[in-house]
Structure 1
Amino acid sequence: MTYRTVAASAAFVIALGLAGTAAAHAHLKRSVPTASGTVAGPTQVEAWFTEDLEPKFSTITVTGPGPNGKKVDKGDTHTDPADAKHLIVGIDGAAPGTYTVTWAVTSVDTHKSNGSFTFEVQK
């Protein structure tokens, strides 16, 4: 074997190894209430992500109603013991209006992501 063949083979093997370690981020897959949805009297907000989450570094905050709303979540964000991709937070008394859900999560591979959405509570 020539030096060039050995070097090319080594580069190919390294490239294959790195391809399997591509970084992934946890993205919001779905939620209850749904983004831009309308519900009656929710008691919690649930969000499912594309990756397992690190519970200590993952939060959901709920504010509302309206753009200047106060925090209404109970501060008890936790993952579902049966599904590390499922994040839940309780909320106190959802009066009619528009609520904003803001999430910030860290996946078990330490990558961070965040986002927000709104939902409407009907009268």
Structure 2
Amino acid sequence: MRNILLAAAFTLLTSVTLSGSAYAHAKLEAAQPPIGGTVKEAPTELDLKFSEELNLKFTGVKVTGPDKQEVKTDDAMLMDGDKTFMVSLPKGLAAGPYKVEWHALSQDGHKTHGEYKFTVKP
């Protein structure tokens, strides 16, 4: 009887441990320009650091400027073991608030999305 209880406990513990990692999602941990921050110089790139490895093909951003127009991004790539998503921004961004809307697909197939704001104030 004791062996059956130990086997059941082991099975339950293994199931809980594996399901926790199977349902992990890529969470935005940090960004440059910083989340909610103000920068003195217009950034030339956007770096989003995630908690999980990403799939580049299904990860992206939309950046909206102070004039409510979409800012063109370019040269998307993954860095830092595929956990940091980077895109180039055009030179000379105008002063004002910017909104970054992101979506990501982690290597395990889970989709996440979110947004944050930063301000350029020379």
- In 1, the alpha carbon distance for the partners of 2:72 and 2:35 equals 17
Query: Conserved in 2, the CA contact under 8 Å of 1:60 and 1:77?
Result: no
Deviations 1:23-70 (A, max 9, x none): 21111111100011111111111110111111111112211125xx11
- 1:84 is aligned to 82
CA offsets per residue over residues 76-105 of structure 1, 9 Å max, x none?
Answer: 33211x421100111124111111001111
1:1-123, aligned counterparts within 5 Å?
2=1, 6=4, 8-21=5-18, 22=20, 23-39=23-39, 40-66=41-67, 69-80=68-79, 82-92=80-90, 93-123=92-122
Q: What TM-score results when the alignment is normalised by the length of structure 1?
A: 0.83
Segments of structure 1 that go 5 or more residues without pairing to the other structure are none
Distance 1:20 1:76 in 2: 38
Deviation at 1:16, TM superposition (A): 2.2
Identify unmatched segments of 5+ residues in structure 2: none
Q: Which runs of 4+ in 1 moved over 4 A?
A: none
Q: How many residues align?
A: 117
CA distance in 2, matches of 1:111, 1:55: 13
Counterpart amino acid of residue 45 in structure 1: L
Which is further off, 49-58 or 71-80?
71-80
- Alignment RMSD, CA only? 1.9
Q: With structure 2 as the length reference, what TM-score do the two structures score?
A: 0.83
Q: Structure 1: which amino acid aligns with 2:88?
A: G
The one-letter amino acid paired with 2:56 is P
Displacement, 1:14?
Answer: 2.2
